């Protein structure tokens, strides 16, 4: 990960800043995502992916009325609606994390 094309100076987040973000959601942020934030912070990666503050309402606000476009079980739909958006691409794709009960429990 240290070989990213960097424009400008990375602005790593401090542990208290990450803990503040973590405290605003119902499950813990993934450990590798926290490590990424401590190394690079938020912002653009190669001008292709924009890392952003976690947003628990993005999917609900933008896609909840369109969930029937996909073939999903009720459980899958709920996982998606309750996921946390952490990044977006220049193509309009979104990157989310979801709670895996074994990996994202609040400790």
Tens of pLDDT, residue by residue over 48-107, are 889 999 998 998 999 888 888 888 888 888 888 888 899 999 999 999 988 766 555 554
Q: What's the pLDDT tens digit per position in 15-29? A: 999 999 888 888 888
- C-alpha to C-alpha distance for 14 and 25, rounded to whole angstroms: 18
What's the pTM? 0.77
Q: Which residues contact 31 (CB under 8 A, 6 or more apart)?
A: none
Six token digits for residue 64? 């909840």
Which residue, among 14, 92, 97, has the nearest Cα to 49 in the 3D structure? Answer: 92
- C-alpha to C-alpha distance for 35 and 53, rounded to whole angstroms: 14
């Amino acid at each position: 990960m240290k070989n990213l094309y960097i424009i400008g100076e990375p602005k790593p987040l401090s542990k208290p800043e990450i803990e503040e973000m973590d405290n605003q959601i119902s499950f813990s942020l993934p450990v590798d995502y926290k490590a990424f934030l401590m190394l690079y912070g938020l912002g653009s990666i190669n001008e292709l992916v924009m890392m952003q503050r976690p947003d628990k309402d993005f999917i609900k606000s933008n896609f909840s009325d369109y969930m029937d476009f996909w073939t999903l079980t009720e459980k899958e739909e709920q996982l998606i609606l309750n996921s946390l958006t952490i990044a977006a691409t220049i193509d309009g794709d979104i990157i989310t994390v979801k709670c895996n009960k074994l990996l994202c429990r609040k400790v």
